[in-house]
């Protein structure tokens, strides 16, 4: 998480008064705000609920929904033009936070947290780590929406049929996948992200668990023995045991494949739990686990999406009303029932959420796994530099080149290191 904000500043932020006596939800009645939405589980769920916000505030919420990569392309185009076309957007602070902050694209939300807070919003209930992660240079740039990271979904019925146990180490995935392929040839043994810009989200767990460090002494480490071992393992799993066309796979394709019963192991976001379980077919035959440890230990990826206001918006306060509604205790509790891990500590005590977890044992397992990841995980995906998104492109290209057979590991990592060293040098 970003640590540019001091602990004192953060504590001051979350200790703000829980209510403003003169707060009026109807203050911006008749206005329209535009919202650029990533079509992930949180985005899809909040769009379904937008009528509640419009009824409460009288504000019209105009939503533009895109898949993640297209959303980012659209956002960059609008922001580079310094246009006020977008008021609100979803952002991943662990990915683009430093870059967007440096570019001046985020509105600073700090003043709003002091002067325009709804009754019972309760900042102290929000995750301090996630608030910290959305703060750059002392400026709060987003409110947290969820907590997530990639988890292992696997078919315990197929494992039992094939006499296979869940591996104790990350290297044990290969012999397990080999046995599954021989025993159940009609099912894909292993699936994870192969799409270049999306791949680092899951691949980074392999890097960290194999003991890899992206930067050492100011130089890229893609050719270190640890990261080469991680690349080799990830590439073999996709090449030899993944589905056809895995080079184009991100969360949507992985979720669909596993939900349809066509994959034995899926390494994908915990945030996809609701999609994986949609229809109920996988509720009884699935187990969920943290990716097994490697020589470097266990370092699951843990991140959270945030909701931000454009610095170019002319309707910042109306946009702020949407931010606090979308992250308020009752809305967060409703979203939790759709399989979205809440960024609020109090949600676990919500009666409806407790009942929902108790209805299916797998739901309880899922939240236990995510909580375990939150305790031991890292938010480092790609290189800890301002050009983090570009670093992910080079990482993804290297891994793709290996599993597609375009380059040897040595050739692919050497090319990636050349490109990444250039980015690191620019960051100084």
80 and 97 in a single domain? The answer is yes
- The reply to whether 347 falls in a domain is yes
Average pLDDT estimate for 110-139: 90
- The reply to whether 197 falls in a domain is yes
Q: Point out the domain boundary residue: 339, 370, 401.
A: 370
120 and 163 in a single domain? The answer is no
Cα dihedral sign for 389, 305, 35, 276?
positive
Number of domains the chain is built from: 2
363 and 380 in a single domain? The answer is no
| pLDDT tens digits, 2-11 | 433 334 344 4
pLDDT beyond 60 at 12: no
pLDDT beyond 90 at 42: yes
187 and 273 in a single domain? The answer is yes
CATH number at residue 186: 3.40.190.10
- The reply to whether 2 falls in a domain is no
- The reply to whether 216 falls in a domain is yes
Tokens of 303: 């991140």
User: Residue 189 carries which DSSP code?
Assistant: S
288 and 338 in a single domain? The answer is no
Coil, helix or strand at residue 260: coil
220 and 260 in a single domain? The answer is yes
Average pLDDT estimate for 355-373: 93
256 and 314 in a single domain? The answer is no
Query: Could you tell me the residue range of the domain that residue 77 belongs to?
Result: 7-147+303-370
Coil, helix or strand at residue 297: strand
18/124 Cα distance (integer angstroms):
8
293 and 224 in a single domain? The answer is yes
| pLDDT tens digits, 133-175 | 899 999 999 999 999 999 999 999 999 999 999 999 999 999 9
217 and 319 in a single domain? The answer is no
- The reply to whether 135 falls in a domain is yes
pLDDT beyond 50 at 278: yes
- The reply to whether 1 falls in a domain is no
Mean per-residue pLDDT over the chain, rounded: 93
Specify the pTM.
Answer: 0.84
297 and 408 in a single domain? The answer is yes
187 and 79 in a single domain? The answer is no
375/273 Cα distance (integer angstroms):
20
Q: How confident is the model at residue 115 (pLDDT cuts 50, 70, 90)?
A: confident
269 and 166 in a single domain? The answer is yes
């Amino acid at each position: 998480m970003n640590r540019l904000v001091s602990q004192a500043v953060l504590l001051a932020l979350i200790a703000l008064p829980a209510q403003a006596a003169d707060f009026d939800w109807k203050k911006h009645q008749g206005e329209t705000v535009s919202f650029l939405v990533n079509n992930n589980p949180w985005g899809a769920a909040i769009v379904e609920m937008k009528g509640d916000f419009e009824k409460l505030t009288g504000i019209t919420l105009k939503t533009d929904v895109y898949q993640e990569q297209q959303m980012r392309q659209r956002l960059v185009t609008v922001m580079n033009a310094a246009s006020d076309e977008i008021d609100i957007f979803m952002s991943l602070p662990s990915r683009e936070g430093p870059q967007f902050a440096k570019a001046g694209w985020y509105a600073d939300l700090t003043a709003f947290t002091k002067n325009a807070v709804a009754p019972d919003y309760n900042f102290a209930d929000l995750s301090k780590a996630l608030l910290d992660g959305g703060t750059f240079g002392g400026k709060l740039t987003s409110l947290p929406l969820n907590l997530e990271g990639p988890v292992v979904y696997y078919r315990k019925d197929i494992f039992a049929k094939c006499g296979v146990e869940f591996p104790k180490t990350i290297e044990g995935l290969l012999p397990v996948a080999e046995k599954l392929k021989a025993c159940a040839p009609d099912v894909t043994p292993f699936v994870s992200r192969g799409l270049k810009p999306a791949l680092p989200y899951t691949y980074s767990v392999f890097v960290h668990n194999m003991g890899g460090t992206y930067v050492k002494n100011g130089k890229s480490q893609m050719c270190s023995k640890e990261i080469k071992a991680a690349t080799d393992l990830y590439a073999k799993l996709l090449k030899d045991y993944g589905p056809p066309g895995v080079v184009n796979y991100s969360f949507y394709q992985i979720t669909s494949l596993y939900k349809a019963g066509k994959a034995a192991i899926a390494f994908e976001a915990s945030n996809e739990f609701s999609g994986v379980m949609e229809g109920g077919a996988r509720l009884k035959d699935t187990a969920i686990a943290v990716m097994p440890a490697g020589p470097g230990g266990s370092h699951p990826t843990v991140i959270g999406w945030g909701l931000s206001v454009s610095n170019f918006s002319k309707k910042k306060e109306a946009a702020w009303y949407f931010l606090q509604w979308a992250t308020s205790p009752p809305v967060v509790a409703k979203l939790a029932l759709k399989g979205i891990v809440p960024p609020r500590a109090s949600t676990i005590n919500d009666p409806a959420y407790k009942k929902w977890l108790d209805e299916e044992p797998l739901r309880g397992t899922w939240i236990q796994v995510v909580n375990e990841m939150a305790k031991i995980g890292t938010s480092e995906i790609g290189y800890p530099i301002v050009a983090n998104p570009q670093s992910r492109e080079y990482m993804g290209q290297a891994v793709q080149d290996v599993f597609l057979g375009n380059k040897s590991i040595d050739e692919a990592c050497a090319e990636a290191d050349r490109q990444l060293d250039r980015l690191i040098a620019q960051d100084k």
